Amino acid sequence: MLTREMILHVLSGVEDPELKKPFTELDMVKAITIDGNKVGVEILLTVPGCPLKDKITADITQAVQLIPDVESVAVTFDVMNDAQREALREKLGMGRQAASLSGKGGTNIIDFADRFIAVSSGKGGVGKSTMTVNLACALARLGKKVGLLDADVYGFSVPRILGVAGQPTVIDDKIVPLRRGENIEVVSMGFFVNEDEPVIWRGPLLHKAINQFLADVMWSELDYLFLDLPPGTGDVTLTIAQAIPLAELLVVTTPQATAYHVAGRVARLAEKTNLKVIGVVENMAYFDTAGGREYVFGKDGGKELAERLGTRFFGEVPLETSIREGADRGEPVALEGTPEQIALFESIAKAIDTTD
């Protein structure tokens, strides 16, 4: 005989496709009806016109039909009221940004992560975004709760590299970040515009977008928030310095002299804006050949930059086709690469984790 408890049990294994938690845990199951062998399930949506109704219907139908004797499943929908949405926000964990502090001059201090790591480079093409995503993934593998904010509004690439796509849910003007697995949350301009569509904004709009991604996103309470900055010393770095005075700067460079000298300018800007430079990562450091290494872009540029800045050198990442291919496929090697690649990024991540 079918019972409500049996149906709730199978629904406890069905997740909301956007919020990545079971409908039962989120109190989104409004009603269950049983008429002989026919089952009805009514789901509460956060907003009307949810684009994922078909997927929700298919997932719930498939799960409930696993129960013996179920003949048919009808899935219907209603919309949450204000009180239910507020309860959902509490269940999702608004994080500490819900009570942002007031700093000097009335500046909002964003405070929902233990550490904020802004990843920068002096110039484009050094693999900064690839390094950002892989280091975030490595820390997630180590059990850290990690957020990824793609602050490169004009040249966003984090969604493709991380393998996450879709349009975030908005609850009471708050954006719910998309997820990769249990430990990685991500927000990017790439979730709001077509990948091939240019973003043509002047400075004030850019400043507003970054602040919204910090203050108007329902980030969990994170161990780390990685911010993938645009290359160079533009408006975004200044915005981050104002919004997050305790942010730390991680510099990515190649060994090439032009790259690490330009990266040094970014670090000098950090000093002027009171951002702490925690270290340097050298990407495309060498190419493995049969029996040796070829230093395509020169040698030890990252180490020299770290010495000049008086900061830590976290390590070298080789020039490997598979790292680029993983980024293009949305399969970062820190999660899905070879054991050697996973170990390399975890070693750098551990070094960052132990930096004061």
199 band by pLDDT with thresholds 50, 70 and 90 = low
Structure tokens at 31: 């009603």
- Higher confidence at residue 196 or residue 267? 267
The closest of 124, 117, 115, 116 to 230, measured between CA atoms, is: 124
Q: Could you report the per-residue pLDDT of 13-31, keeping only the tens digit for each?
A: 998 887 778 999 989 999 9
Give the long-range contacts of residues 303-311, CB within 8 A, separation 24 or more: 304/260, 305/251, 305/253, 305/260, 305/263, 305/264, 305/267, 305/280, 306/279, 306/280, 308/264, 309/251, 309/264, 309/267, 309/277, 309/280, 311/267, 311/277, 311/278, 311/279, 311/280
Other CB atoms within a 10 A radius of the CB of residue 44 amount to 19
197 band by pLDDT with thresholds 50, 70 and 90 = low
pLDDT at 177 over 70: yes
CA separation (Å) from 9 to 17, 37, 66, 350? 18, 17, 11, 39
Q: What b-and-e string marks burial along 101-124, b requiring 16 or more CB atoms within 10 Å of the CB? A: eeeeeeebebbbbebbbbbbbbbe
CA separation (Å) from 346 to 56, 134, 145, 283? 36, 9, 15, 15
CA separation (Å) from 133 to 58, 93, 201, 316? 32, 23, 25, 16
* SS3 state of residue 189: helix
pLDDT at 344 over 70: yes
CATH number, span 4-91: 3.30.300.130
Structure tokens at 142: 């180590």
Min mean pLDDT across 33-42, 58-67, 93-102 is at 93-102
The position carrying tokens 């309860």 is 87
Which range, 98-102, 142-146, 308-312, has the best average confidence (pLDDT)?
142-146
pLDDT for position 99: 39
Domain 96-353 has CATH 3.30.43.10: no
pLDDT at 327 over 80: yes
Domain spans in the chain, listed from the N-terminal domain onward: 4-91, 96-353
Query: If you ran DSSP here, which 8-state letter would residue 113 be given?
Result: E
Structure tokens at 312: 């830590």
Task: State the average pLDDT for the chain.
Answer: 83
Q: Could you report the per-residue pLDDT of 83-119, keeping only the tens digit for each?
A: 887 788 777 765 444 334 334 333 345 678 999 999 9
> 249 Cβ partners below 8 Å, 6+ apart?
117, 118, 119, 120, 266, 267, 270, 275, 276, 277, 278
Other CB atoms within a 10 A radius of the CB of residue 142 amount to 14
Mean pLDDT for 154-160 is 85
Query: Based on C-alpha coordinates, what's the Rg of the chain?
Result: 23
52 band by pLDDT with thresholds 50, 70 and 90 = confident
pLDDT for position 294: 92
The position carrying tokens 């793609």 is 150
> 22 Cβ partners below 8 Å, 6+ apart?
11, 12, 13, 14, 15, 16
pLDDT for position 98: 39
Mean pLDDT for 64-73 is 91
Is-contact 155 197, C-beta < 8 A? no
Strands 178-180 and 184-188: antiparallel
